[in-house]
A and B are shown apart, each in its own frame.
Chain A
Amino acid sequence: MSRVSFFLPLSLFALIVGFAYFGFSLGDRHELPSALIGKAFPEFEAQRLLVDAESFSNEDFAGRPALVNVWATWCPTCLSEHEQLMQIAAQTDILLVGVNYKDDVNKARRWLAEYGNPYDAVVVDMNGDLGVQLGVYGAPETFLLNARGEIVFKRVGDVNPRVWRDELRPRLVQMGAVVESFEVGEVSSQQPLPLQPLP
């Protein structure tokens, strides 16, 4: 028995452990990297949810940083991130745009009336075509746009206090947006809420 064949099982084992460590540390396989980071927000024109006979297009982003939040009433995670969006709306000067995704218009209006409306504008994407433009595959998803209308960051899943503190807020401050320093809700250590599949 030579030295090579003595060490072969051990090195094979080490190799397998290495692959397993790498594989399990890859994180959530359901979270796809966005192909749109660094690109301009796609051109679109959509009906508004709350203002009749008025449409909204990418030109209405009007030279300031914006958050575009894809949400729906069928998505419980959207409800759980709602409070965070309300806070962001109250304490920043950024444009907050909601995309009501594959939803019922009346349910959506009732939802905003009941829980409050954090958005400067809500556009309707009834059949998901704008969603396809944005590479959306579930809800909620949130895009951060700089003042030139380019997508700089995408969050798949809820905007929770941790995401606000670690991802969104620093980028907004860097862009020069007015962000009042406010205590975000307690940053919990629990797992982020899952992305909701479509209904």
Chain B
Amino acid sequence: MRSGIEKKKARWGWFFVLPAIAYFSIFSFYPIANAFHTSLYRWNLLSLNPPRFVWFENYLRLFQSEVFWNSVKATAIFTVGTFVSLLIGSLALSILIFSRKRFRSFFQMALYSPAVLSTVVAATIWLLILDPRGLGNTWMNALMGTSGKDYQWFANPDMSRISTILIYFWKYIGHFTILFIAGLSSIPNTILEAATIDGAGSWKKYWRITFPLLKPTVVLVCVLSLIQCMKSFSTQYLFVQSGAPKAPIDVLTLNIYNTAIRDHQIGRASAISVILFLTLILFSWAQLKLGRSEEVSFQ
């Protein structure tokens, strides 16, 4: 039996979380539920005829579709390529910046600045750089000691994949580096000092103290970057608009867009959205579960 004060507290609790619940219900839960509902219909966006309930036909069609599996492959390649490089790159950069006494703020600011650009602007800048006559080829020719070689940043299927990964890496590396720096700052200095007194070297301190204590930040960065990568759309969209072959970078979000806007098949597009959503939930849950297996405490 809960006391009167507890009940009152609970009521106030509900009162305070109500706006957030209302917000998420309207802008998140309802669209998710609606997408699932829509995915069970054969529904032409333009048709005035009522949509036809087809159970899981849209899902079955997707699983038999070559285009869908190509999208899964394109998303997987992009996500793994971006996710791994972002994780390792941002961790390395954060340690490097954190170890600096001078210019730390400058480096943080410089790294973070691409994140404030919209993805469309970022992709447009890179489209100019990666144009066959752009700086991309000039730099690569200088770097590789070649002359007049076209590295086909858009044209070659593998290069177009690498280019999209490169743009995403450039745009978000600063964001995740800042998160790691915040994580590093939260590790109490006393622990590191104690380790130094005990005779631990720099590498040992990082490996035995910093990394384990940084685990919650690693999990956070993993979840955020994975979601970010799997939802990537604008870069691939602009690449395709600029003449890059679609198949190698036809990620699930681009497939959703084309299925809905080009083909008018909103039911099938919703089915892809639901699959993407469930995949994201699954990965996020797995990461959180793995992250919780060894809880970190600074006490």
A binds B: no
Which positions in A face B, CB cutoff 8 Å? none
